[in-house]
């Protein structure tokens, strides 16, 4: 298949491979490189997910999809997604060339950026079960960005907090001398408790 017909197909996109060779993690979305097959794959995946979303998705997910107003027939332009997303949340999608290490991913979230790949699987990989080892814009745009449409605040407790909270129940009936063995068996990291 000639290079021009590959488009931005997962595992077969010269544009992405060149960016990786240069060491470019952050890239632009070269929308003109999407092939007709890329858009057909998007349309097939989008239409396959519609009945599942209507049946199983929660109202926040559905509201997020509605707010993002994704075109069911064409892969979304990240610039269009960002025009809707940024005013509501301050977040924006940012194209990346592939895997993003956790520390960079978390730094992106700190900067209110959501890294997303811009490739899409080939139509030949759409037959269920269609699981791909690499993310694609369907995952980035649908399954994740909708969450940013509505701002949430959550208080998180580190894992060791629950251990200490359960300690009175765990030591009931034991001797004080057993406390050291009990604490050692649950692998508590006490430094987390002051967060």
> What is the residue-level pLDDT of the chain in tens, covering all 195 positions?
444 467 888 888 899 999 999 999 999 999 999 999 999 999 998 888 889 888 888 888 888 888 888 899 999 999 999 999 899 888 899 999 988 888 898 898 889 998 998 998 888 877 665 555 455 554 444 445 555 555 555 555 555 666 667 777 777 888 877 777 777 776 655 555 544
Q: Which pLDDT score is estimated for 16?
A: 92
Residue 2 backbone dihedrals phi, psi, to 5 degrees: -60, 150
Q: Which pLDDT score is estimated for 180?
A: 74
List, by residue range, all CATH 1.10.800.10 domains of the chain: 3-148
Quick one: angle between helices 36-56 and 59-68, nearest 10?
Answer: 150
Q: Which pLDDT score is estimated for 27?
A: 95
Domain 3-148 sits in CATH at 1.10.800.10
Q: Which pLDDT score is estimated for 148?
A: 53
Instruction: Please tell me the distance from the alpha carbon of residue 154 to that of residue 4, in angstroms, as a whole number.
Output: 46
Sign of the CA dihedral with 163 first, then 169, 174, and 175 last = positive
Maximum Cα interatomic distance, the chain, rounded to a whole number of Å? 75
Instruction: Please tell me the distance from the alpha carbon of residue 149 to that of residue 128, in angstroms, as a whole number.
Output: 29
Q: Which pLDDT score is estimated for 192?
A: 53
Residue 41 makes CB contacts below 8 A (sequence gap 6+) with: 120, 121, 122, 123, 126
Instruction: Please tell me the distance from the alpha carbon of residue 139 to that of residue 135, in angstroms, as a whole number.
Output: 6
Q: Which pLDDT score is estimated for 36?
A: 94
Separate counts of helices (H) and strands (E) for the chain: 9, 2
Residues in the chain: 195
| Residue listed under structure tokens 């629950």 | 162
């Amino acid at each position: 298949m000639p290079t021009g017909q590959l488009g931005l197909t997962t595992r077969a996109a010269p544009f992405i491979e060149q960016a990786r060779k240069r060491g470019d993690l952050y890239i632009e979305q070269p929308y003109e490189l999407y092939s007709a097959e890329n858009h057909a794959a998007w349309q097939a995946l989008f239409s396959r997910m519609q009945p599942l979303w209507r049946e199983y998705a929660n109202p926040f997910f559905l509201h997020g999809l509605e707010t993002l107003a994704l075109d069911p027939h064409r892969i979304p332009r990240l610039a269009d997604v960002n025009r809707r997303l940024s005013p509501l949340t301050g977040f924006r999608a940012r194209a990346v060339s592939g895997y993003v290490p956790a520390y960079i991913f978390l730094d992106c979230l700190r900067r209110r950026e959501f890294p997303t790949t811009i490739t899409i699987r080939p139509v030949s990989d759409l037959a269920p079960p269609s699981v791909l080892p690499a993310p694609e814009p369907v995952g980035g745009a649908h399954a994740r960005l909708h969450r940013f449409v509505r701002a949430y605040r959550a208080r998180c407790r580190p894992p060791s907090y629950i251990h200490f909270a359960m300690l009175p129940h765990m030591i009931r009936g034991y001797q004080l001398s057993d406390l050291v063995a009990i604490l050692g068996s649950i692998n508590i990291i006490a430094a987390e408790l002051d967060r």
